[in-house]
Amino acid sequence: MEIKKKLKFAFLTGLILIFSSLFLDWYIFQVFNADGTLLDNWAYNIFSEWSTTGNVNNEQLKPSNLFVPVILNFLIIIVTLICAFGVIFRNIESEQELNKLYPFAYANIFLLLLAGFYIFIFPIGYLFTNDLFFPFLMLGDVELNVTYFYCIGPGYVLQILAFVFAFPHTIFYYQTILRFEIKRGSPSIVIEKYIEHVQERLDLDKFIAEEELKKRFKNTTSNIECNQFNEKIIENEC
């Protein structure tokens, strides 16, 4: 139980990190002159693309837009909220029908896949193809006498941490549900539940009363048959 609480706490921490990372800068591109003075400063956010706080003429060095699908950003927010609801309000120990927890287990796995997309596909499919170095690099330009600085931002770092925090509980949650479902579906458990379902409790008083009625009916029938037999004998003698 102590391990379960720690995994749950780590998972909730991961959800907070995933949600927070979406609103932070994911990549930073800066330009310095020979004296170390900042000439250009571009920061990338997966919602708003590139933004700058540098000089007026920095549009000339603005990196190309990466066009990360915005639908993925809204999707990861929705899935994060679903996972948060499942881990807070759905308890494996108190749930009688574990099949109701499968949607939350699949949501947890899907959230990891989305986080994995940002962690692995973002640098490979978006940064490298736009000549943006990963994870960081300082590159000097002798002709222009400037230095370019490329670096991942805090949003990307939080996404990695979120994946690490969320992964153990996701696997534990799914494996626990699967294990208990297999156990509940074993032949011995199924037979036992079936017997409990179809078995009727014996009503002893009702059973005794029925037996008494049968005995009385049998005795009455015997007396009637004896009387009829005696009447026939008397008739034959006459």
**94, 168: one domain:** yes
**15, 83: one domain:** yes
**112, 213: one domain:** no
- b/e 39-62 (16+ beta carbons within 10 angstroms → b): ebbbbbbbeebbeeebeeeeeebe
Number of independent structural domains in the chain: 2
* Residue 210, domain member (yes or no): yes
Q: What is the pLDDT of residues 60-89, one digit of tens each?
A: 778 888 888 889 999 999 999 999 998 888
**64, 38: one domain:** yes
**168, 218: one domain:** no
* Residue 199, domain member (yes or no): no
**6, 75: one domain:** yes
**112, 210: one domain:** no
Low-confidence ranges of the chain (pLDDT < 70): 1, 54-58, 91-98, 180-238
* Residue 200, domain member (yes or no): no
* Residue 198, domain member (yes or no): no
pTM of structure: 0.71
* Residue 222, domain member (yes or no): yes
**226, 146: one domain:** no
- Domain range for 227 is 205-237
Q: Give the per-residue pLDDT at 187.
A: 45
CA distances from residue 103 to 82, 92, 134, 192 in whole angstroms, order as listed: 9, 13, 36, 28
Q: Report residue 165 as tokens.
A: 């925090």
Q: Tell me the C-alpha distance between 90 and 116, whole Å.
A: 25
Q: Give the per-residue pLDDT at 44.
A: 93
Give the number of other Cβ atoms within 10 Å of residue 121's Cβ: 12
